[in-house]
Amino acid sequence: MTGGSGGIGRVSAARLAAANTAVVVHHASGRDRADDVVDSIRAEGGRAVAAGGDVADETEMSALFDVAEREFGGVDVLVHTAGIMPLAPITEMDLDTFDRIQRTNLRGTFVVDQLAARRLRPGGAIINLSTSITRLQTPGYGAYAASKGAVEAMTLILARELRGRDLTVNAVAPGPTTTALFFEGKSPELITAIASANPMERLGTPDDVAEMIAFLAGPARWVNGQVLHVNGGAA
């Protein structure tokens, strides 16, 4: 579970652990938060360990898969939630920031998906995180949406490249979700307006997204090569 110490990652890790899945909780720098997730999973009788690394670094991510194989005997599911979301209009975004977004969100997905495709056991699942912003096309999200649009394309192609391997590859595309990443830089008035605009008249929660991730990680063996929008009908 890359990004397992973050909002969606944390809840999804707990949801998978509750279904008797052993979880490696990945973090980029927040070791304390990852340890908290591991402690909470173990307190409920689940199995989990924490491990760090840069998702865009193939050596560090290979070591992450090594941890899973050493601790739990192999890897069956990759859930890739790690990502960053600096916002600015395209005309104003600093190119160094643009490069950082693409490195983490796009290269990071390529690196971990490539390793998963090589190392997952038959019957496994690769689950990437995209965003409903690719449909909503909200101003200010150009660089982020570009990275996630590429993630979606890569997901669909990888699903077809893995023909005969008994591996599913899908992407989950949440809408506005109550995480720290979403709330950052938004006024209460804007948050209320975004929630009110949804047909369900609320924001999504990490639990909403975790249910879809658990479905794809477990019983959804006939769902493959899809982008599933978990957004209350926002678009």
- Three-state secondary structure call for residue 109: helix
141 belongs to the catalytic site: no
- The closest of 77, 44, 27 to 219, measured between CA atoms, is 77
DSSP-derived 3-state class of residue 174: strand
Distances from the Cα of 81 to the Cαs of 171, 182, 211, 224, in angstroms? Answer: 10, 14, 14, 18
CA distance 44 to 129: 26
Q: Given 65, 98, 141, 144, which residue is catalytic?
A: 144
Number of Cβ within a 10 Å radius of residue 88: 15
Strand bridging mode 226-230 / 168-174? parallel
Q: Would you please indicate which residues are annotated as catalytic (active-site) residues? A: 144
